[in-house]
Amino acid sequence: MQSPSNIIYHNQSKVLEIVDYDGRQMLLPAEYLRVMSPSAEVQGHSPDQAQLQVGKRDVGIVGIDPVGLYAIRIVFSDGHDSGYYDWDYLRLLFAEKENRWQAYLNELQERGASRDPDDPKNEPFKAKPQKACHHWYVW
């Protein structure tokens, strides 16, 4: 699980370029990384809890933070920042990019949702605001 030699985000194309020490180049679109986020918010704590990500066509990357020597935390333009992308997961996303992307597109179509951010069909899939939970302790 060696860290890459270089990580470059291309703002105009919204593509993250990762270069391994062996020179292999991996190109991963920001939208793909966002919808495949390893966070519990996206993946859930089990496969049946996974949340379909809709309206992410225009998402970009606004920050990349190292997490030790084993991962990066990506901050997306829609505010999502809770997934740690370790090197093995990024390599897996690259290796399975076509299959995973097609499965995502198929799920969007099957469920009547869209990649477009302003599509009204996406409303049922958008996250609902959580009620604040306050615990008061008396000592």
Per-residue confidence (pLDDT) for residue 137, from 0 to 100: 53
Cα–Cα distance measured from residue 61 to residue 59, given in angstroms and rounded to the nearest whole number: 7
Cα–Cα distance measured from residue 59 to residue 103, given in angstroms and rounded to the nearest whole number: 19
For the beta sheet containing 6-10, the strands, ordered from the edge strand earlier in sequence to the opposite edge, are 6-10, 15-19, 25-29
Strand partners, 33: none
* pLDDT of residue 118 exceeding 70: yes
Give the residue with greater pLDDT, 85 vs 83. Answer: 85
* pLDDT of residue 57 exceeding 80: yes
Per-residue confidence (pLDDT) for residue 49, from 0 to 100: 87
* pLDDT of residue 132 exceeding 60: no
Question: How deeply is 118 buried, as exposed, middle or buried, from its count of CB atoms within 10 A (0-12, 13-18, 19+)?
Answer: exposed
